[in-house]
Copies of this chain bind each other. A is one copy, B any other.
Amino acid sequence: MVVLLKKNPDPNQVDNLVAWLRGQNLQVHMSEGTTQTIMGLIGDTTSIDIDLLKALDIVEDVKRIQEPYKNANRKFHPADTVIEVGGVKIGGGNFAIAAGPCSVESEEQICLVAGLVKASGAKLLRGGAFKPRTSPYAFQGMREEGIRLLLEAKEKTGLPIVTEIMDLSHLPLFENVDVIQVGARNMQNFELLKALGHTDKPILLKRGLSSTIQELLMSAEYIMAGGNERVMLCERGIRTFETATRNTLDLSCIPVLKSLTHLPVIIDPSHATGVAKLVPPMAMAAVAAGADGLIIEVHNDPPHAACDGQQSLTPQAFDELVQGIEKLRPYAYRY
Contacts and interface: CB of A to CB of B under 8 A. Distances in A.
A128 B11 CA distance: 34
Contacts of A132: 188, 190
Interface residues of A, number: 110
A65 B239 contact: no
A240 interface: yes
Given A27-B33, A331-B327, A333-B280, A55 B310 contact: yes
B221 A135 contact: yes
A324 interface: yes
Interface string A241-257: 11111001111111110
B33 A137 contact: no
A210 B29 contact: no
Interface stretch (A43-51, A83-91, A154-162): A43-51
Contacts of A244: 212-214, 252-253, 256
Nearest to A250: B248
Contacts of A191: 166-167, 169
A55 B302 contact: yes
Interface stretch (A115-123, A198-206, A287-295): A287-295
Contacts of A317: none
Contacts of A136: 190, 194, 218, 221-222, 225
Interface string A22-62: 00000101111111101010110011010110111100010
Interface string A307-327: 111101000000000001001
Nearest to A52: B309
Interface in A207-240: 208-210, 212-215, 218, 221-222, 225, 238-240
A178 to B, nearest CB: 22
Contact of A289 (B54, B222, B282): B282
A109 interface: no
Contacts of A56: 303
A215 B239 CA distance: 13
A92 interface: no
Interface in A260-288: 272-273, 277-278, 280-282, 284-288
A139 B208 CA distance: 22
B243 A240 contact: no
A49 B139 CA distance: 9
A268 to B, nearest CB: 13
Interface string A58-82: 0001010110110000000000000
12 contacts: A4-B65, A29-B31, A133-B190, A136-B194, A185-B190, A212-B243, A213-B244, A239-B241, A240-B241, A249-B251, A251-B282, A252-B272
